[in-house]
Amino acid sequence: MRIAILDDGPDQLRLINQTMLGLGHECHLYTEGRTLLQALRRQTFDLLILDWRLSDMSGTDVVKAIRVELKSRLPILFVTDTHEEADIVTGLNAGADDFMAKPLRAGELEARIKALLRRSYPAQHESELIFGPYHFYPPSRVLKVRGAPVELKNREYELALFLFQNLGRLLSREHLHEAVWGLGIEALSRSLDTHISRLRTKLELRPANGFLLLAIYGLGYRLETIEADTIPRSGTR
């Protein structure tokens, strides 16, 4: 998973980062709310962990900006140094999904992150995933379309599965790169576009099959479902 961490305290930032890396997640670190919000206009993440008290703006304002201005449903865990019920309620009402009180304990943080990710992305924990005519079998890395296996290379399969698991989400190019190719790989723009093109063809991702893979200029890609009654029929206008 691709996780953003917002905290202006170096010790806590280090603890959260180390815990998430230990779980196999990719972490992106921020120390200012405004910097994170700027990044979210061109980047996508699977989860945000943020401190409620920041140097440049409040955690409440960060969450409200994400929910209202950016219209994002990004799962958010906020960390607070208060145990006051009113402050916790304020955070949850602003749009956060869960909270933890300081001092942080690595074991509890790990458990809460796993639980929040399971709730937010239930499809990623299934042994069989069904999306209309598309059936994924993650343990065997098999994809069948209308019962017929589709031959895909490793990264084509990983990219297809990731897109379907995040159906309806805009995924930035960087997010897709990290999910399929990992960090430290450069000059992958053409490779990503080539893989997307192959998937459109091999999986017939078109409205007639109920799905459309859209390129969002300057940002990334989004796989969408297309309702049957929105597909033009011959002889109709």
- Contact between residue 192 and residue 184 where contact means Cβ atoms under 8 Å apart: no
Q: Is 211 exposed, middle or buried (0-12, 13-18, 19+ CB in 10 A)?
A: buried
What whole-number distance in Å separates Cα of residue 11 and Cα of residue 52?
A: 15
Residue 235 lies in a domain: no
| Same domain as 217, residue 185 | yes
E-strand ranges in the chain read: 2-6, 26-30, 47-51, 76-80, 98-101, 129-131, 134-137, 142-145, 148-149, 171-172, 211-216, 220-225
224 and 133: one domain? yes
Helix (H, G, I), strand (E, B) or coil at 230: helix
Number of domains the chain is built from: 2
Token output for 210: 């109920």
pLDDT in tens, the chain (237 residues): 899 999 999 999 999 999 999 999 999 999 999 999 999 999 999 999 999 889 899 999 999 999 999 999 999 999 988 777 887 888 889 899 999 988 888 999 999 999 999 888 876 667 789 999 999 998 889 999 999 999 999 999 999 999 999 999 999 999 998 888 876 555 456 789 999 999 999 999 988 889 999 999 888 999 999 875 444 443 333
For tokens 């997640």, name the residue. Answer: 25
Angle at the Cα of 6 (from 185 to 223), degrees rounded to 5?
A: 55
CATH code of residue 218:
1.10.10.10
Using one digit for the tens of pLDDT, what is the confidence trace for 112-157? Answer: 999 999 888 876 667 789 999 999 998 889 999 999 999 999 999 9
Q: Do the bridges between strand 76-80 and strand 148-149 make them parallel or antiparallel, or are there none, so unpaired?
A: unpaired
Number of helices (H), then strands (E), in the chain: 8, 12
Contact 3, 17 (CB under 8 A): no
Let me know if residue 236 belongs to a domain: no
Among 69, 102, 120, give the residue marking a domain's end.
Answer: 120
Residue 46 and residue 66 in contact, taking contact as beta carbons nearer than 8 Å? no
Single out the residue in 60, 90, 120 at which a domain terminates: 120
State how far Cα 198 lies from the chain centre. Answer: 23
In a domain, 197, yes or no: yes
pTM above 0.85, yes or no: no
Q: Which domain holds residue 160?
A: 125-230
First-to-last alpha carbon distance for the chain, in angstroms, is 44
- Residue 97 and residue 52 share a domain: yes
